[in-house]
Structure 1
Amino acid sequence: MNKPSQPGKAGIIVPTAEEDAAIYRGIAADPDAVELTADLAARLQPLRRRGRPTAERPKVPVTMRVDADVLDAIKATGSGWQTRVNQLLRDAVRRGKLAA
């Protein structure tokens, strides 16, 4: 049985020389296996982008000062208050109350 490569590092097991040899024999016998060369590694691309898709209208972080009681009232409406403030401002722009 293999021992961890570093004491106290559970889960990190380095194969023995015999296990390495068996692994490489298996790779050599597999017609679908491709050796990862430095050139091939440099050309590899992820299959898909990670994370959220790019927003059509990305949000912009803003720092602004408002009266404490106004902010308290807005935050008291619960989770999602920033989205609701954004919608209120958007509605005001659409109605012509604010010039965009």
Structure 2
Amino acid sequence: MGKLSPMEIKLGLMRPTPEEDAQITAAALSDLDNLPWTDKDWAKAKPFMLRGRPLSELTKKRITIRLERNTLEKFRATGKGWQTRIDKALGEWLAANDLEKMSEKSDGKKSA
């Protein structure tokens, strides 16, 4: 029998002896309504429920951005959801402005 891990000691777990394990396995194999899973069964197993927050259809990407202090403070002062409001403000700005024309100007290209 192997050494118990600190977690097993903390939880008060005791591993069965080889003889006890053989008895448990034999009892499980005799129950035809609930046979132990094989490696093939485990390979096909899927989680009943995904853990964590449900995935959104519109995923966002985490980035780092530098903002002027007063801009950041004004958004933060609006309370919870301030990052979402920055995202919305940028989206509204993009909808109202032609980004391609702006990038042409900053690249030094002449706009048509």
The match for 2:107 is none
What is the count of residue pairs matched by the alignment? 94
Aligned to 1:14: 15
Equivalent residue for 1:85?
Answer: 86
Shift in CA distance, 7/86, structure 1 to aligned 2, threshold 3 Å = closer
Which deviates further from its counterpart, 75-84 or 28-37? 28-37
Stretch deviating more after TM superposition (81-90 or 15-24): 15-24
Q: Give the deviation of 1:18 after TM superposition.
A: 4.8
Give the share of equivalent positions with the same residue, in percent: 32
Give the equivalent residue in structure 2 for 1:32: 33
1 or 2 for the larger relative contact order (CA 8 Å, sep ≥6)? 1
TM-score by length of 1: 0.65
The offset of 1:45, in angstroms, is: 2.5
Q: TM-score, normalised by structure 2?
A: 0.60
State the shift of 1:67 in Å.
0.9
CA offset digits 1:42-64 (Å, max 9, x no partner): 23222343333332211122322
Worse-superposed segment, 70-79 or 31-40: 31-40
In structure 2, stretches of 5+ residues that fail to align are 100-112
User: What's the CA shift for 1:13?
Assistant: 1.4
- How many angstroms apart in 2 are the aligned matches of 1:10 and 1:62? 41
Which entry has the higher C-alpha Rg, 1 or 2?
2
Q: CA RMSD of the aligned region, Å?
A: 2.8
C-alpha distance after superposition, 1:6-58 (max 9, x if no partner):
38522231123453244223312312223333333223222343333332211
Consecutive unaligned residues of structure 1, counting only runs of 5 or more, are: none
Letter of the 1:23 partner, please give it: I
| SS across alignment from 1:62 | coil
Could you say which residue in structure 2 is the equivalent of 1:68? 69
